[in-house]
Structures are given as C-alpha cells and as structure tokens.
Structure 1
Amino acid sequence: MSWKDWIRRYPRMHCAFKHLYSAALAPWCYLHGKPPSLIPRSLRPAFTLGGKVAVWYAYVDGSRSVPLHYDRQRIAEICQRVAAGELGHYGQVDAWLYSALQRYPIAGQRVAVMGSTDQGYGPWYEAIGLHYGARPVTVDYNPIEFEDERLQFMRAPLDWARVEPFDAALSISSFEHDGLGRYGEPLDPEGDLKAMQLMKRLLKPGGRLFLTVPVGKDKVVFNIHRIYGRLRLPLLLQGWTVEDRFGWDEAALDRDTGFGWEPVKYQRGPAGWEVQPLHPGCPEYAPVWVLRNEPA
C-alpha cells in the first residue's frame, strides 16, 4: 500500500494534511496572483451556510492566460470516439448523458456548453453536442480556440441582455466550481446559485438544461468544487422544473464522499487492507438532471 493509500484510510488525518498544504500555499498564491487556496474568514459563514456545511481543502490552479487550442485533427478524433459510444473523463456519467440526449433530442438546436477544460479527452462535450446534431457554443472563463467552424466560443461571464437565448445547455461538472476561484473567477459563496439563475435568462422559455454536479453529503472542497446534499441541492435547483433524472440514487445525498473525486472505502480482507471504489464506473457520483426552464 502506497503512502497515499495509507493516509486516505484516515479521513481526518488526510483532511488535516490537505488543509496544512493549502495554508502553506496561501502567501505564494497571493504574491503571484494565483487563485486563493483558503476561504477568507469573512466569507466562511456564507460558504458554509452558517456553519452547516463542512469545508475540506484541496488546491488546483485552473486559470490560464494562454488560450486552449484544439486543432481540426484532435476534434475529429474526439468526434469519432463519441460516435463509437466511448465514455470520457466522467465514465458512467457520460452513459447517463447519452441516454438523456436520446430521450430529449437537441438536433438542430443552438446549445451552450457551460465550461470546458482538457482533461485528456479534448472538447468532449462539444463533440457530444455535434454527434447529436446540435450547434455547440462553449462558454468559459478562460479562452478557447477551435479549428472547426461548427464550434463557437464565448467568454464568461455572459451578459444575458446581449446574448441570443440558447435552445438548450449542457453543464457537465461545471457550476459546482463557480465562485471558488479555481478558474480565475472572483470568489462568490453563491456563485453556483447565481450561475443557475443566469442560465434561466440565457435559455429560451421551455429550453432544457442537462446538468450534472457531484452529489453526496454537503461539503465545500475548496478550491476544487462543491458537493451537493440535502442542504444545498434544493437551492441549486430552485426555480427549475425537474423533467427527468438519470442515474439517480436518493441515498447518495447522505453519503460522505470524502474529497468527492474517486472516493473509496477500505476494509480488511484475507490479504490485508482492500480498496473498493465507492461509485464503481464513475470517478465522482454526478447523476444527470434534465431541467426545463418554465416561462415566468
């Protein structure tokens, strides 16, 4: 067993180690203009819903000054993989998304892809949009260049009053990051909730949002993401009509998923400690919601 596996067996120790690391990074982040590694004390009550939500620390700098560039060959390769039914970075989550898009078609629609980052799979959700006949428009805080006239880019944040409304939108593991600073955006304890309300203005009445966020016992893993349980999930979905859900497990709302990514459980077996994935098939449990933007 590696030292990483050893420390992960003890969640409190692992959490304390990560917190110390983030605290040590704080001066460096400040001096170099990087995303903050700690929640400012003045914002902590808002981030934790008055102390009801736990905070764990883990740091990632996802900000970029140089545009992410996808050439024509890379885009074509990703489109071929999607057409073959392969699963990307989020594993089983993509299978749920395929099922959702088959039941609720987006062919011919102008579809916003909210957030995009290369995690070894390139413009994966843009390619999914193309495969299902949509006209994808990627919206991100960091610049992206596509060598494909079928793909467009818009820099976030968007001014809804100046943007042509979208027919539909994909937000796959995106809004849980908003307001945490990871991608260079300002800190905002309600960044995710505001993003969802802005989405209502960016979508046409009756338009659909295909949404995934990590689900588990409520937690803020700063600056990486939020995990949505019984407290924050209703706030996130407020004002939307839940038309359908794929991969939904009610029990997950009370499940402690640690840092949220690739959670595991340890149990002693005949050969010693055994490691078992908490959610086999997907690195984080994030069901797919199909939400309708009902007219006001």
Structure 2
Amino acid sequence: MLNEPTCDLVFAEWLRISQEPQTDIPQKEIPIRQTEQFLLNGYAALDSWYFNDKNAVGGDKPRNWNRISDLMTYTKTQLADLAYPVESVSMYHAMAENRLDNLTGFIVGSMQPWVEVMALKHGAKQILTVEYNPLTIQQEYQDRLSSILPVEFVRNWQDYAGTFDFAASFSSIEHSGLGRYGDPMDPIGDLREMLKIKCMLKKGGLLFLGVPFGTDAIQFNAHRVYGSIRLAMMFYGFEWLATYSGEEEKAFDFTSARLHFKGVFGLTQYTMVLRKL
C-alpha cells in the first residue's frame, strides 16, 4: 500500500524543485535522464511542439484584468472566446450545474480572468488567483478578487490549507513541469499541482478541472494530453462527479471511446468536476 504524502512534504518538495537552477530559455527536449519518468515508462507518446513563454517577445502575458466590469456583461460564448472558443464554455456549464453561491475558491493559472468571471457569475463570494505573473485587478473588484504568486502561496500554505470551498483550473495544470513558462522541469509537476489543490480544499470541496483529453502523450514543451493512465493518477484523493463539454449544457457520459476518438496527439478540452474525498 502506498503512503499518501503529507501536505508538509508536498509543499516542501515543490519549494525544493522551484529553487533548482533554470536555463535561460525553456529546454527544447526532455532531459534524457528523465525521459522514462515523463513518458510513463513508455506508455505515453512523445511529439515536439515548442514554446518560449518565459521571456520571448510576444509570449503569453496577462491581460483584461482591469476590465472585470466589462467581462461581467459578456455571454458565456464571449467569455470562452477569450481563451478557447467552444471548449471553454464547458467550464460555464460545469459551474451552472454545480453553483458556487457564497463560496470561496481559488483559480490555478489564469492569464485572462474568464474563469474568475464565470465563477462570479455563478455566485462565488471571493476568489484568489494563483498566477506566475503579477495581476492588476480592477479596483472595484479587489474585495472579491485577489492574486498571489505560486511561491508565496506555497510558502504560506498553512494559512490556506483546508479553507477553500472550490478550485478551478482550465488549460494550466497540463503545462506544469514542462518548463514552457519558466517553471522547473518536473516529470510529476502536474500531479504535484493536484496534491497541492487537494491540500487547500475543504473535505467535499469541488475542483473544476479542464485539461487536454485524449491518448496519454506529451507534446513537448507545449502540454500533456491526458488519457486513461495519467487521469487515474490525477484523480487520486478525488471522486469524479461529472464531465461537461462546450456544446452540451448537461454532463455527458465520458466513455473510453469518446476519450480516444481523435487518436494519438488528438485532443479535446472538457471540464471535469471532482470532489475531494
């Protein structure tokens, strides 16, 4: 039987890895010594798709945080268009069926506040965004929205542990540990994020999780694609409640056939709702 890592260990290990020396630009290949760990001992496919969002001119940067009032008037489709048209609507559908009235939550990774606005629209009381970039939030919403750098969130984790009713992340966790955004190379960076989220949620707290679904793979350094093997690892400590698409308002039956229908390196982003056990 495996021993579950304590929250102390989860955050201590994250801090240790975050302090390791980094290359000036993101690595273009998986380090040979870590290949088997990244690729699930050969059970995940590998392809190349490279980005430098650490320091390249034109790299992805935060925007629209000073326009929350405007975004609150957007339809679900308009909000989704800020990120991934159609696919991002799945987050709206998930929150509509699992409302957040008067609840407190946190968002993991957010270049634009479309997830935050969706949460506010579905009743969220307060939201903390954990983001590598400093955010300039519209003043009128600073009593409901705030942000923190990941390293500060980790250093002060005991102040937050077990305090949140919900968490949400869309197209963020799959990047963790691949170095694209200047983060440390870590074969289980995404699994560490899930453990961190689990530590921060109250028992029974909800996680709205959107990642690329398909056959297990890494398109390095762009993202991971989650198939049946990696998903089972991600779900540790959670109960899978439902899955939502951008096309359907109600949850759908997420079968193996639907997971794999696009083949290797084909992917679709849905939103899963998980509950902390």
Aligned to 2:274: 291
Match of 2:106 among 92, 108, 112: 112
Give the TM-score normalised by the residue count of structure 2: 0.77
| Conservation of the 8 A alpha-carbon contact between 1:87 and 1:94 | yes
Q: Whole-Å Cα distance in 2 between the matches of residues 291 and 94 of structure 1?
A: 17
| Conservation of the 8 A alpha-carbon contact between 1:178 and 1:192 | yes
Aligned to 2:120: 130
Asked if residue 203 in structure 1 is aligned to residue 201 in structure 2, the reply is yes
Match of 2:71 among 45, 59, 78: 78
Aligned to 2:258: 252
Q: Whole-Å Cα distance in 1 between the matches of residues 234 and 127 of structure 2?
A: 24
**Per-residue CA shift, 1:225-251, capped at 9, x if unaligned?**
100112211111122111222233531
Q: Whole-Å Cα distance in 2 between the matches of residues 53 and 93 of structure 1?
A: 24
Instruction: Provide the secondary structure at the position in 2 that maps to 1:136.
Output: strand
Aligned to 1:6: none
| Conservation of the 8 A alpha-carbon contact between 1:67 and 1:143 | no
CA shift for structure 1 position 188: 0.4
CA shift for structure 1 position 125: 1.0
Asked if residue 162 in structure 1 is aligned to residue 159 in structure 2, the reply is yes
Residues 71 and 252 (structure 1), Cα distance of their counterparts in 2 relative to 1, 3 Å cut: closer
What letter is aligned with 1:183?
Y
Asked if residue 190 in structure 1 is aligned to residue 188 in structure 2, the reply is yes
CA shift for structure 1 position 292: 0.6
Q: Whole-Å Cα distance in 2 between the matches of residues 95 and 67 of structure 1?
A: 22
CA shift for structure 1 position 83: 6.5
Identity percentage of aligned residues: 33
Aligned to 2:37: 46
Q: Whole-Å Cα distance in 2 between the matches of residues 163 and 183 of structure 1?
A: 25
Q: Whole-Å Cα distance in 2 between the matches of residues 53 and 166 of structure 1?
A: 33
Q: Please, which moves more after superposition, 38-47 or 124-133?
A: 124-133
Q: Please, which moves more after superposition, 93-102 or 207-216?
A: 93-102
Instruction: Provide the secondary structure at the position in 2 that maps to 1:102.
Output: helix
Give the TM-score normalised by the residue count of structure 1: 0.72
Q: Whole-Å Cα distance in 2 between the matches of residues 218 and 235 of structure 1?
A: 12
Q: Whole-Å Cα distance in 1 between the matches of residues 61 and 93 of structure 2?
A: 32
Q: Whole-Å Cα distance in 2 between the matches of residues 92 and 188 of structure 1?
A: 31
What letter is aligned with 1:244?
A
Instruction: Provide the secondary structure at the position in 2 that maps to 1:50.
Output: helix
CA shift for structure 1 position 95: 2.9
Q: Whole-Å Cα distance in 1 between the matches of residues 260 and 61 of structure 2?
A: 39
Q: Whole-Å Cα distance in 2 between the matches of residues 31 and 200 of structure 1?
A: 27
Q: Whole-Å Cα distance in 1 between the matches of residues 174 and 159 of structure 2?
A: 25
**Per-residue CA shift, 1:155-207, capped at 9, x if unaligned?**
11432323252110111111111111111110100011111111110111111
Q: Please, which moves more after superposition, 141-150 or 191-200?
A: 141-150
**Unaligned segments of structure 1, at least 5 residues:** 1-29, 261-283
Counterpart mapping for 1:130-149 below 5 A: 130-134=120-124, 135-148=126-139, 149=142
**Unaligned segments of structure 2, at least 5 residues:** 1-20, 246-253
Q: Whole-Å Cα distance in 2 between the matches of residues 223 and 287 of structure 1?
A: 21
Residues 252 and 123 (structure 1), Cα distance of their counterparts in 2 relative to 1, 3 Å cut: same
Residues 187 and 130 (structure 1), Cα distance of their counterparts in 2 relative to 1, 3 Å cut: same
Q: Whole-Å Cα distance in 2 between the matches of residues 220 and 137 of structure 1?
A: 29
RMSD: 2.6
Q: Whole-Å Cα distance in 1 between the matches of residues 65 and 227 of structure 2?
A: 39
Residues 93 and 256 (structure 1), Cα distance of their counterparts in 2 relative to 1, 3 Å cut: closer
Q: Whole-Å Cα distance in 1 between the matches of residues 92 and 265 of structure 2?
A: 27
Count of residue correspondences: 237
Please identify the structure whose Cα radius of gyration is greater. Answer: 1
What letter is aligned with 1:192?
D
Residues 218 and 188 (structure 1), Cα distance of their counterparts in 2 relative to 1, 3 Å cut: same
Q: Whole-Å Cα distance in 2 between the matches of residues 197 and 225 of structure 1?
A: 19
CA shift for structure 1 position 67: 7.7
Residues 132 and 185 (structure 1), Cα distance of their counterparts in 2 relative to 1, 3 Å cut: same
Aligned to 1:27: none
- Of structures 1 and 2, the one with the larger relative CO (CA 8 A, separation 6+) is 2
Instruction: Provide the secondary structure at the position in 2 that maps to 1:215.
Output: strand
Q: Whole-Å Cα distance in 1 between the matches of residues 200 and 22 of structure 2?
A: 36
Q: Whole-Å Cα distance in 2 between the matches of residues 181 and 71 of structure 1?
A: 25
